[in-house]
Amino acid sequence: GAVVSQHPSWVICKSGTSVKIECRSLDFQATTMFWYRQFPKQSLMLMATSNEGSKATYEQGVEKDKFLINHASLTLSTLTVTSAHPEDSSFYICSARGWRGPSGREQYFGPGTRLTVT
Amino acid sequence: RKEVEQDPGPFNVPEGATVAFNCTYSNSASQSFFWYRQDCRKEPKLLMSVYSSGNEDGRFTAQLNRASQYISLLIRDSKLSDSATYLCVVKGGGSQGNLIFGKGTKLSVKP
């Protein structure tokens, strides 16, 4: 079964509005969460890495004031796309890394959120 | 040079065919290597890890050549359900190394 959930799975919003995406680790504590973005026919691009209780580390070219990340607990991270524009339309995927049973410290992906900004 | 390079394909093959994908990576300090599978509009899912000694999982065989910084995936007796995009993924060095994804190679298996 799924070990990482994302909500919503898809969202359509108007240009200028903000959208919040939640990522939860379901049966383990995620010490680190990653947010990726994937445009059509492109590879997953890491946007930012967050450790619980500390500020996120953003990759070069990703605006931290536009993509707000909160990793307030070991099971929840949120990504807020502020003042969304059509060019922000993309597939956003979170990933959680932590110790999970005998599998050890692995990275698990959420099902993704498809954002369309009109 | 891109960190992880793959032939984007598409590879169109008939059922039962054997198909091979290749991947090269630029960072010689990379520690771990994987093949992921991604279906259309879905998240990537781990297919298998890749080791220098090579590893096999059913119809899938993965190989790593550290000297050449080259990774391969072989699929034998391909099924319709193998149709997907296969992502070559490299993890950087250190315990905090991040996953670096290739663009993926699209495979389409036809009846």
Closest-approach residue (CA) in chain B for A95: B43
User: Which pLDDT value is given to residue B59?
Assistant: 97
Cβ atoms of residues B109 and B80 within 8 Å: yes
Q: Could A109 and B98 be called an inter-chain contact, meaning their C-beta atoms sit closer than 8 Å?
A: no
- Does pLDDT of A44 surpass 80? yes
User: Which pLDDT value is given to residue B9?
Assistant: 87
Distance CA A100, CA A46 (A): 23
Q: Could A111 and B99 be called an inter-chain contact, meaning their C-beta atoms sit closer than 8 Å?
A: no
User: Which pLDDT value is given to residue A98?
Assistant: 83
Mean pLDDT on A70-79: 91
Q: Could B101 and A44 be called an inter-chain contact, meaning their C-beta atoms sit closer than 8 Å?
A: yes
Distance CA B37, CA B106 (A): 10
- List all residues 6 or more positions away from A63 whose beta carbon is below 8 Å from its beta carbon: none
Question: Chain A contact for B44, CB < 8 A?
Answer: yes
Q: Could B43 and A110 be called an inter-chain contact, meaning their C-beta atoms sit closer than 8 Å?
A: yes
Torsion sign, CA atoms A106, B29, B60, B11: positive
Each residue's pLDDT tens digit, B12-36: 999 999 999 999 999 888 889 999 9
Closest CA to A84 of A70, A68, A66: A66
- The C-alpha angle A46, B33, A64, rounded to 5 degrees, equals 10
Cβ atoms of residues A32 and A98 within 8 Å: yes
Q: Could A43 and B103 be called an inter-chain contact, meaning their C-beta atoms sit closer than 8 Å?
A: yes
Nearest CA distance, B65 vs chain A (angstrom): 23
User: Which pLDDT value is given to residue A46?
Assistant: 92
Question: Chain A contact for B102, CB < 8 A?
Answer: yes
Nearest CA distance, A38 vs chain B (angstrom): 10
> What's the token pair of residue B26?
């630029």
Taking any CB pair shorter than 8 Å as contact, residues of chain A touching chain B are: 32, 34, 41-46, 49, 91, 93, 95, 107, 109-112, 114
User: Which pLDDT value is given to residue A51?
Assistant: 86
pLDDT band at A19 (very low <50, low <70, confident <90, very high): very high
pLDDT band at B95 (very low <50, low <70, confident <90, very high): low
- List all residues 6 or more positions away from A34 whose beta carbon is below 8 Å from its beta carbon: A46, A48, A49, A50, A94, A95, A96, A97, A107, B98, B99
Most confident of A41-55, B67-81, B83-97: B67-81
DSSP state of B34: E
Q: Could A112 and B42 be called an inter-chain contact, meaning their C-beta atoms sit closer than 8 Å?
A: yes
